[in-house]
Amino acid sequence: MAEANTAVSEQNVPFAGAGTAETVQLMVTVNGVDRIFDAEPRTTLAEALRGTLGLTGTKIACDRGSCCACTVLRDGLPVCSCMMLAIEANGHSITTIEGLAAPTALHPVQTAFIEHDALQCGFCTPGLVMSCAALLEHNANPDQEAILDAISGHFCRCGTYPHVMTATLAAAAKMRGDDNG
């Protein structure tokens, strides 16, 4: 690598992005708390969550909607936060991985992921947990097909899918109160 490098002197110019560079004020209910913050219109929801709000549990892996690692719930529905502008969350409710557990206990899907080793490197895990939790929210008794459909957009290079399936079935059973789950 070339050794020559050029430090740029401090210019004392406050940063302003090119173009119109305007920000807008947003009010988003994030994990049950109303958060008011400024964002440029071009900021994606994933960037706002991870950057401005410091909620780094939501991961960006492809940034194009093709891996679902960035899945969060908007008004309860799983969406790719990388393919949605933060501005579109304005006035809506967003649930991230940080807000899934109850104050005193993990969400059953989280517990089941731990028990069934449904994670390896863990980078796709928050997104998968969100999708599976969202599924169980409106389908208490999912079969294999329902789970496959819910996670069909996810990509996990470590190959956790089989354990994700067992974990989600187990979590569903637990949430229904079946003891044999």
Partner 1 sequence: MRNFTWGQAQTVMDAAAAASVTVADAMLSPPNTNGQAGASIVKAGGIDLLDLLKEKLLTADRITSLKELPGLDVITRTEDGGLRIGAAVTLANLARSPLVLRHYPALANATAHAASPQIRNVATLGGNLLQRPRCWYFRAAEYRCLRKGGGHCFAIHGENQYHAIFDNQLCAIVHPSTAATVLVALGAIVECADAMGAARRVRLEDFLVPPDEDVHRENSLRAQEILTAIELPALNPGTRMVHLKQGETDSFDWPLADVAIVFDLDAERRCKRAAVILGAAAPVPHRAKAAEAILLGRIIDEEAAKDAAHAALADATPLHKNGYKLPLFETLIRRAILRAAADLHA
Partner 2 sequence: MAESEASRTATFAVGLASTGLDEVERQIPRDEPPPLPPNAELAVIGKSVPRQDAFAKVTGAALFTVDINLPGMLHGRILRSPLPHARLRALDLAAAARHPGVRAVLPVAQPGDSLRYFGVPVAGVAAVSAQAAEEALALIHAGFEALPFVVDLDKAREPDAPPVHDSTSAPPGNSSGFPAPAGLPLNGNVRGPALMQRGDVARGFAEAEVIVEGAYSTKVQTHCCLEPHAIVADWREDGLTVFMSTQFTAGVRHELAEAFGLPLARVRVIAGAIGGGFGSKSSLGNYGRIAVGLSRAAKAPVRIVLERQEEQMDAGNRPATWQSLRLGARKDGTLSAISLLSYGTAGVTLGAGVGGIAAALYTCPNFESAQYDVFINAAPGCAMRGPGNTPGAFGLEQAIDELAGRLALDPLALRDRIDPSPVRREERRIGAARIGWQRRHAPGAESGPVKRGLGVAQSLWPANVQTTAACEVRIMRNGSVEVLSSVQDIGTGTGTVMAQTVAEVLGLRAQDITVRIGDTDFPPGPPSYGSRATASITPPARVAAWRVLQTLFQEAAPFLGVAPEALIAHGGRILVANNPGRFMLFGDATARLHTGKISAAATRSDDYGGFRRRMPDAALALQDLGGVQFAAVAVDTETGIIRVERVVAVQDCGRPLNPKQIESQVHGGVLMGLSYALFEERLLDQHTGRMVNPDLEQYKLARPREVPDIEVVVLEEYRGQSATDAYGIAEPANIATAPAIANAVYNAIGVRLCALPMTPAAVLAALGKIPRRGELP
Ligand X SMILES: Cc1cc2nc3c(=O)[nH]c(=O)nc-3n(C[C@H](O)[C@H](O)[C@H](O)COP(=O)(O)OP(=O)(O)OC[C@H]3O[C@@H](n4cnc5c(N)ncnc54)[C@H](O)[C@@H]3O)c2cc1C
Among 9, 7, 11, 82, CA closest to 43:
82
**105-127 b/e with 16+ CB inside 10 Å = b?**
eebbbbbbbeebebbeeebbbbb
* Contact map string, positions 58 to 97, toward ligand X, x by CB under 6 A: -------xx-------------------------------
Go through the chain and tell me how many residues it has.
181
Site membership for partner 1, residue 21 (CB under 8 A): yes
Rounded CA-CA distance 64/79 in Å is 12
Give 14 or 177: the residue with its C-beta nearer to partner 2. Answer: 14
Residue 61 touches which of partner 1, ligand X, partner 2, none (Cβ within 5-8 Å per kind): partner 2
Among 32, 23, 136, CA closest to 151:
136
Report yes or no: 130 and 71 within 8 Å, Cβ to Cβ.
Answer: yes
Using the rule CB under 8 A, which residue among 25, 104, 152, 180 binds partner 2?
A: 152
**Only segment of 74-82, 93-101, 103-111, 171-179 that touches partner 1 (CB under 8 A):** 74-82
Residue 41 touches which of partner 2, ligand X, partner 1, none (Cβ within 5-8 Å per kind): partner 1
In whole angstroms, how close is the CB of 53 to partner 2 at the nearest point?
12
